[in-house]
Structure 1
Amino acid sequence: MRYYDYFKHNKNENKIFKTIPLKSFQKKLKDDEIFIDYFNSGFSHCLIITNSDTKFFRLDDKIRDETEKIDKSILSFDYLSFVESGDALFQILFSKIKLNKYKRIIVSPQYFLEVLPFECLLKSKKNCEQNDYRKLDYLVKTHEIEYCLSPLFFRNSKPKSYDFEISVFTPNFPKTFSSLPFSKLFAKKVNKEMKGKIFDGKKADLVNFHHNSSTILHLNSHSIIDNQNAENSFILFKNKRLNVSEVKPNRAKLIVLNTCSSGNGVIRAGDGSEGFLKSFIYKGNPTVMTNLWAVDDKKSNELFYSFYKFLDEGKSTVMALNSAKRTAIEKAINSKSASPYYWGAPRVVGEEINFNYSTQGFVLYLILFGSATVLIFIMAYLYSKKKGDKRMSNYHQNL
C-alpha cells in the first residue's frame, strides 16, 4: 500500500504524483506519536497514521462553521463562544481517536484548517464554569503539537542541530504604521543575553536580511496579507516591502516572521495556502515560524523570548514553542492574559531542529574559568616565591 497527497496536489503544476510507501512512512513515527492528515475534496476527510495502524474517515460537515466561530471568538475575547467552539471542534477532529495513548500529535492541515490553532482546542469543558481562560482544558497542556506542511516533507532526514546564531530585525516604519516598542526591547534583550545581532532602523533592510549568515533570522515588523491575491501581500523592511515572490534563498535554518497574520495567505482547496510560509520553505529554509492573526506587540515578544530560552535549554523548535505556550498560560496574571489570543497565533512548520547554545556557552565558560584559575595559581606561586626569596636574602644579610 502506498500513500500520497492526492488532494494536496497542485493541479496547476504538471508534476508526477509523489507516492510514499506506507510502511516506510510509519517507521518514521514513534510509539507515542500520531500523524493526522486533514484534506478537503468537497468534503473534509481525515487520515490517521500510527506506526502500526491507519484509519480513514469523513469529518462532520459542521467543521468549517466551527472553525470560523473559534477564530472570531479568539479575536473578540468571547469566552463562552470560545468554549463552545473549542469543545465542538475537538469532538469533530479527535473523538474517534484515543489520544491518551500518544504524547505528540502531528497534524498536516489543509484548506480552512490551515488557520486553526490546534493547541487551543478543548479536550473537555472541565472548569469552564469558572470563566477563567487559565483553567481551561487546552490540548496543548497535555500534548506536543507539531505541524507538517505535507507528508512528503515529513522527517526526510535525520534530526539536526545547529549553532545558535540569531539576528533580529526591527525596522522603523512610516507614520501610517504603529511603532513596535516592545520589539525593540526584545532585540536588546536577545543581544545582551544571547549574543544576538541587532539590525535596527536603517540596517533592517532587505540586503542585510537576504545576505545574513545567522542560523536564525527573527523579524519583528508589520505585514499586510491579501487573502485573495498573494502577490499583494508584503512585509515591511526599511523603506522597502518584501513581496511573496521576492523571497530569496538564505542560510538561515529557522525563519521567524513575528508580523501580523504572516502565516495566512490565499487558501485553495487541494493546493494549500499561498503565502510567506510556503515561499520561505520552498526557497530552502527548513523551518519557518509565522503568526495566524494580528498579534499584541508586548505579549508576542514575551512569548518569543520564552521560546528562545527553551531552545537554550536544549529543547527542539517544536517542544520549545509548545513549552512557551504552556508557560504563557501558567504565568498569566489574570484570565484575559491567558486568552488564546495572546499565545495561540505562533506556529512553527518544517523540520524539527535543535540549536547548540548552552553547550557552546558552557564549554567557553569552562575554558575561560579554567584559564583564569591556572593564571591565578601561577601568579600566587610567583608572588609567594618572590616573598620567600626576599625573606631568605634578608636572613643571609643578618647573618
Structure 2
Amino acid sequence: MKRILVFIFLFFLIQILSVTFSQDKNPKLRRANELYFLANPTEKDDREAIRLFGEVLNETPDKNEAPEFIQAAEHLGNLLLTYGNSSGAIQSYRQGIFWAHAYDYSDTLVYNHHLFLGEALFSQSEIDSSLSHLQEAERLQTQLNSLGEPERLYNALGVYFFETGNYIRSVSYFDKAQSYLSGERPEMELYAKYSFQSNKASALYHLGEYDSAQRIYNELLSFGINQDQIRINLANTYLQENEGEKALEILGQISINYQNGSLSFYNLKAKTQILSRFLDSALVTLNLGEKLIQEDSTQSRSFQEGIWKEVKGDYFRSLGQNENALSEYQKAIVQLLPGFENLDVTSNPTRFALGMSSLTVFEILRKKAETSWELYRENKDRAYFEIGLGAWESAFGLARFISVNFDNDKARVFLGEKVLGGYESAIDQLIGFAEKDEDETLIFKAFSWAELSKSEGLRIGALQESLKRKAGLPADLIQEEGNLLFEIFRNNQKQIGDVTPAVKAELTQEALDLEVQLSRLREKFRKYPGFGEDIEIGFDPKVLQKSLPDKAFLLSIFHSKSNLVVFGLENHSFSWSKIPTDSIPFVELNRWIQSITKEPMGNRFETDLAVAKFGASVFEKFEDQISDSRELIIVPQGIFNSLPFELLPFSDGQMLLEKTSVFYQFSAQFITSVKGIKKFNNPIGFAPFSESVAAGGFSILPRSNEELELVPGAKYFGKDATKKKFLAQAENADLVHLATHAVASSSDPNDAFIAFFPDDDDFRLSAPELAFQSLEGAKLIYLSACETGAGQLSRSEGFISLARSLAFAGAEQMVISQWVSEDRVAAYLAGKFYQNVGKGLTFSAALQEAKLELLQDESMAQYHHPFYWANFRMIGQPTEVNILSRWSYVVSFILIILAAGFWFGSKKWKRRMD
C-alpha cells in the first residue's frame, strides 16, 4: 500500500518543535516512524512498526508530545488497514482525533484522520458515521486550499452518495474529484482519472443514461487498466437495454483468470442467460458463483453475494418455482439491508437505515411482492397475498425513507421515476384481485398507492422547505442558501451565451463547485432539531374523505401499463372505473392538445371524435356526481397533466367547464380544505412590462396595467416593478398578482424564471430562487405569464415548473398558464376573476365564470378558441362551506317572506275593518 505522507501539517512550527522533542524523548516512536517511512518496507517492517506504534499509543502524551502522538495514531491506522484490521484502524484514528480535541490543537491536524476514518467506517457499513467524518474532512479541505487530498476526499463522498442511491449528487463529486488532477504526474493521475470516470459511469448507468455510460467505458478501455472489470460494467449497460447478445459478446472478451475469480462476472452472466432463456447454462454459472462465495469468508455482508441470491431467485422464478424464489429474495434482502436479519418470508422490513444499494433492495422487495402474489393466484392461499401486500408496503416505505434523505429535488424526481414502475405493477394487480374477489377495500388501497406515487418528491421537498422556515435555522444559513442559488442561476445564464472554450470550462468548474457547496450546506440543515420530522408519515385516504367539504368531488387519474384508472371520491362515497390502456387514443389526444396550444388561423374549434369518446369514458361513471358538485378537484398523472380536462365533453355534448368549477392538485396528499375569501388584506401586483418601451429583450405587455385595475393594495408598473421589491414584499402578502413574462424550460427546470423590470443584471427570479421564498401567507398567487405551469414532464412528479417552485415556497392556491398567453385575454380574465371573487365566489368558480363570460362576450369573439383561455388553470384547495353564512341567507329569506306576509295580511285585515 502506498504510504500517505502528511506534508500539510509541517507549517505548524510549534508542532515541528514538539515532534522533534517527542522523538528524542521516545525512541520507540522514532523507530516506528523510521519503519513507516521506509521506501520499500517488508511485511516484517510493517508488523514491527505496528507493534511499536501500539506500545507508544498506550501511553498518554503531554501537550508537547500530543502532535506526534496524533500523527502516530494516523500512521498506525493506515498500517492496520493495510493488513485488514479495520476495527483497529478505526479505533486508532478516533484516538488521534480525541487527543487533538483534548489538547486544543487545530482541526486541520486531523484532516487525514477524518478522511481515512470515513472511508474505513464506510467499508464497515457504518453509513451515518462515515458521512459525518467525510463531511468534517470536507469542511477542513476548504481551510487547506490546495493541500490535503481533495481528489481522494471528493471521490470518497461520491462513492458514499452513489452507494446510498443519490446518483445525481455522486456525479457532481466524481467530477469535482477529477477537477483537482493537475496533470503534473500523468502516470499516477491516469489511475485516478480511471477511478473517477469509472465511478461516474456507474452512476450514469444507475440514472438510466446508458449511452453516456457506454461512451465512458469504451474510453476507459484505452487506458489499459482493469479492462476486464470495465467490460463487466459495459456488458451490464447492454443487459439493461435487453441487448443480451451484445452483453454476452462483451462478456466473452473477459480473460479466463478474471472470470474464475469474479462473482460479479458470474452474476452478470447468469442474468444474461436467464434473459435469453438459457436456464441450464444459468444454473451452471450460478453454481460457479456459489463456489466463490463458499471460498470467501472475509465479509459478513457482501453486495455481490446479495446480488447472487437475487439472481438465484430470478432463476427459480423463471422455472416457475416461486416458493424457492421467494426464499432467495428474502436471503438477498437480509444480505443487503443493514439491521434486518429475519429469513422468514412472512417478515418484511419496516425500519430502514441508509445503507449500500438501497434502490437494489427496493427492486428485490418488488420481486418478492410480485412472486408472492403469483403464488396467491396459483394456490389461493391468502397468506401469500398478505406477504405480497407487506412487501409492497415495505418497498414503498423504503422509497419514502430514501427520498427524505435525499437533499435535492433532481434526485427525488429521479427516485420517483424509478419507483413508479413498482406502483404501476402493484396497483394493476391489486385491482385485478379486487375485481375477482369483489373486495372494495382493495380499490381504496389502490387509490392510496396511486396518490403516494404522485409528486412525492414535491411533497417531501415542500415540507422540508416549510420546516426549514419553522425549525429555527439561523438566518445566516438561510441567506447563504439564497446566495448560492442566485450564484448557480447566474452561472447558468452565463453559459447560455456564446463563450470561448476556456470561459466555458471555467464556468463549468464554477457550477460544479457551487453545486457541491449547496449540497454541503443542506446537510447542515438536517442537524437542527425538528427539521425533517414527520415527513415520512403515510397518506390516509379515509381522513381525506372525511375532510372533503359538501359538494366537493375528487377525480384522480392513474395510468399504468395496463389501465387508466379513474377514482372518484366525495365525503360520503367512493367509486372508480378503468379504461384499458390499449383503448386510449394517444395519437388523437396528442394531436388535439397540439391544436389547442398553437395559435389558430381562425376561430374554428372541434373536438376529435376519438377524443370525445375518450372524455365520455373518463366521466361516464361520475357524471351525476360531477354535475351535482360545487367544485371538482382533478389529480392527473404523467402525460395527462397536459390534458385540458375542462374541454372534454360529457355525454350531452357540454364541456366539463359548463358543468362545474374545476381546479387541479399535484396529489391528493396535498388536499386540505380552506376558508373562502372575498377580501384581501395585503395584496400586491407587478406589471414590469406595461410601459410603452420594451426592456431587457422582452416585449411590452400594454394590457398588463389593466390586469391590475381590480387588484387592491400596492401595485408596481414598469421600472418600479423590480425583483428587489417583490422579494421585499411577497412574504407578507396574502395576494400576489404577477402580470409579466416567464420562461419555462423542458430541458433543465432550473433555467425557468419570472422576469421583473431589468433595472440591473439580477432581474430574473429563477425557479430555485422562487422555491426558496416564503409564500405560506399568500391566499392566492395569480401568475399571469406564459408557460408558468409548463416545463419538463415527469411521469411521477408532473411538470417540473414554476408552479412547482411556488408549491415549494408554500403557495397552496395559484392561477397559472400552461402555454403562451394573449395580453388582452389575460387582462379580461383577470378583471372578471376579481369581480367574481368580490361577489363571494370561490377561486375556482371565479375562474370558471370568467371563462364562460369570455365565451359569451361577442366583443371578444376572436378569442373564443380554447388557445386563448384554456391555458389558465387553477391549482387549489376545496373551499369549506360556511354553514352559518348559508343559514343566515335562509333565515333572512324566511324573515322577508314572513314580513311580506304580515304586511299583506295587515292590509287585508284593515280593508275588512273599513
TM-score range, shorter chain: 0.7 to 0.9
Instruction: Give 3-state SS (helix, strand or coil) of 2:607's partner.
Output: helix
Structure 2 gaps, min length 5:
1-440, 462-531, 881-914
Aligned to 1:47: 567
Instruction: Give 3-state SS (helix, strand or coil) of 1:208's partner.
Output: helix
Matches within 5 A, 1:362-377: none
User: Shift of residue 18 of structure 1?
Assistant: 4.6
Whether the 8 Å CA contact 1:66–1:89 is kept in 2: the answer is no
Alpha-carbon distance in 2 for matches of 1:158, 1:257: 20
Q: 2:798 aligns with which of 272, 282, 293?
A: 272
Instruction: Give 3-state SS (helix, strand or coil) of 1:245's partner.
Output: helix
Summarize deviations over 1:223-253 as a string: whole Å, max 9, x none: 1111121011111112211111011113422
Going from structure 1 to structure 2, the CA distance change for 1:85 and 1:33 (only over 3 Å counts) comes to farther
Aligned residues: 339
Q: 1:71 aligns with which of 558, 579, 593?
A: 593
Going from structure 1 to structure 2, the CA distance change for 1:82 and 1:98 (only over 3 Å counts) comes to closer
Alpha-carbon distance in 2 for matches of 1:185, 1:160: 25
Aligned to 2:704: 183
Deviation larger for 259-268 or 208-217: 208-217
User: Shift of residue 186 of structure 1?
Assistant: 2.8
Alpha-carbon distance in 1 for matches of 2:715, 2:799: 31
Summarize deviations over 1:86-114 as a string: whole Å, max 9, x none: 52341242233333653232210121221
Going from structure 1 to structure 2, the CA distance change for 1:18 and 1:241 (only over 3 Å counts) comes to same
Aligned to 2:205: none
The question of 1:122 aligning with 2:670 is answered no
Aligned to 1:6: 452
Whether the 8 Å CA contact 2:789–2:803 is kept in 1: the answer is yes
Whether the 8 Å CA contact 2:842–2:879 is kept in 1: the answer is yes
Alpha-carbon distance in 2 for matches of 1:175, 1:30: 46
Alpha-carbon distance in 2 for matches of 1:81, 1:254: 33
Whether the 8 Å CA contact 2:455–2:796 is kept in 1: the answer is yes
Instruction: Give 3-state SS (helix, strand or coil) of 2:806's partner.
Output: helix
Aligned to 1:219: 738
Q: 1:99 aligns with which of 587, 605, 624?
A: 624
Q: 1:246 aligns with which of 757, 769, 774?
A: 769
User: Shift of residue 147 of structure 1?
Assistant: 1.4
Alpha-carbon distance in 1 for matches of 2:719, 2:816: 24
User: Shift of residue 195 of structure 1?
Assistant: 3.5
Matches within 5 A, 1:1-399: 2=445, 3-4=448-449, 5-8=451-454, 10=456, 18-29=537-548, 32-42=551-561, 44-50=564-570, 51-61=572-582, 62-74=584-596, 75-77=598-600, 79=604, 81-84=606-609, 87-99=612-624, 102-103=628-629, 104-124=631-651, 126=653, 137-155=654-672, 157-159=673-675, 161=677, 163-164=679-680, 165-172=682-689, 173-174=694-695, 176-187=697-708, 189-190=709-710, 195-212=712-729, 213-239=732-758, 240-247=763-770, 248-250=773-775, 251-333=777-859, 336-352=862-878
Q: Which is strand-richer, 1 or 2?
A: 1
Alpha-carbon distance in 2 for matches of 1:89, 1:218: 36
Alpha-carbon distance in 2 for matches of 1:115, 1:319: 21
Alpha-carbon distance in 2 for matches of 1:266, 1:301: 27
Larger radius of gyration between Structure 1 and Structure 2? 2
- The TM-score normalised by the length of structure 1 is 0.76
% identical equivalent positions: 23
Instruction: Give 3-state SS (helix, strand or coil) of 1:53's partner.
Output: strand
Whether the 8 Å CA contact 1:295–1:345 is kept in 2: the answer is yes
Alpha-carbon distance in 2 for matches of 1:161, 1:178: 34
Deviation larger for 71-80 or 280-289: 71-80
Summarize deviations over 1:31-73 as a string: whole Å, max 9, x none: 6443111123445432222322232524544354343222222
Alpha-carbon distance in 2 for matches of 1:246, 1:334: 37
Q: Which is helix-richer, 1 or 2?
A: 2
User: Shift of residue 150 of structure 1?
Assistant: 1.2
- Which amino acid in the other structure matches residue 37 of structure 1? S
Whether the 8 Å CA contact 1:9–1:17 is kept in 2: the answer is no
Going from structure 1 to structure 2, the CA distance change for 1:314 and 1:86 (only over 3 Å counts) comes to farther
Aligned to 1:387: none
Instruction: Give 3-state SS (helix, strand or coil) of 2:764's partner.
Output: strand
Instruction: Give 3-state SS (helix, strand or coil) of 1:211's partner.
Output: helix
User: Shift of residue 83 of structure 1?
Assistant: 4.7
Going from structure 1 to structure 2, the CA distance change for 1:280 and 1:41 (only over 3 Å counts) comes to same
- Which amino acid in the other structure matches residue 566 of structure 2? C
Alpha-carbon distance in 1 for matches of 2:624, 2:833: 26
Structure 1 gaps, min length 5:
127-136, 355-399
Deviation larger for 234-243 or 41-50: 41-50
Instruction: Give 3-state SS (helix, strand or coil) of 1:218's partner.
Output: strand
Aligned to 1:370: none
Alpha-carbon distance in 1 for matches of 2:702, 2:455: 42
Instruction: Give 3-state SS (helix, strand or coil) of 2:548's partner.
Output: coil
User: Shift of residue 80 of structure 1?
Assistant: 5.4
User: Shift of residue 154 of structure 1?
Assistant: 1.0
Instruction: Give 3-state SS (helix, strand or coil) of 1:351's partner.
Output: coil
Instruction: Give 3-state SS (helix, strand or coil) of 2:700's partner.
Output: coil
Going from structure 1 to structure 2, the CA distance change for 1:215 and 1:63 (only over 3 Å counts) comes to farther
Deviation larger for 22-31 or 206-215: 22-31
Summarize deviations over 1:205-233 as a string: whole Å, max 9, x none: 12211222331111111111111210111
Going from structure 1 to structure 2, the CA distance change for 1:116 and 1:86 (only over 3 Å counts) comes to same
Alpha-carbon distance in 1 for matches of 2:588, 2:632: 21
- Which amino acid in the other structure matches residue 739 of structure 2? N
Alpha-carbon distance in 1 for matches of 2:589, 2:608: 13
Deviation larger for 50-59 or 256-265: 50-59
Whether the 8 Å CA contact 2:585–2:611 is kept in 1: the answer is no
User: Shift of residue 124 of structure 1?
Assistant: 4.8
User: Shift of residue 30 of structure 1?
Assistant: 5.0
Summarize deviations over 1:242-266 as a string: whole Å, max 9, x none: 1110111134221111111111121
Going from structure 1 to structure 2, the CA distance change for 1:219 and 1:60 (only over 3 Å counts) comes to same
Alpha-carbon distance in 1 for matches of 2:453, 2:878: 25
Whether the 8 Å CA contact 2:558–2:565 is kept in 1: the answer is yes
Alpha-carbon distance in 2 for matches of 1:353, 1:31: 9
Whether the 8 Å CA contact 2:688–2:716 is kept in 1: the answer is yes
Going from structure 1 to structure 2, the CA distance change for 1:351 and 1:29 (only over 3 Å counts) comes to closer
Aligned to 2:190: none
Going from structure 1 to structure 2, the CA distance change for 1:312 and 1:30 (only over 3 Å counts) comes to closer
Alpha-carbon distance in 2 for matches of 1:295, 1:161: 27
Whether the 8 Å CA contact 1:210–1:249 is kept in 2: the answer is no
User: Shift of residue 166 of structure 1?
Assistant: 2.6
Q: Note the aligned Cα RMSD (angstroms).
A: 2.8
- The TM-score normalised by the length of structure 2 is 0.35
Whether the 8 Å CA contact 1:281–1:288 is kept in 2: the answer is no
Instruction: Give 3-state SS (helix, strand or coil) of 2:733's partner.
Output: coil
Alpha-carbon distance in 2 for matches of 1:72, 1:122: 18
Summarize deviations over 1:371-398 as a string: whole Å, max 9, x none: xxxxxxxxxxxxxxxxxxxxxxxxxxxx
Alpha-carbon distance in 2 for matches of 1:182, 1:263: 21
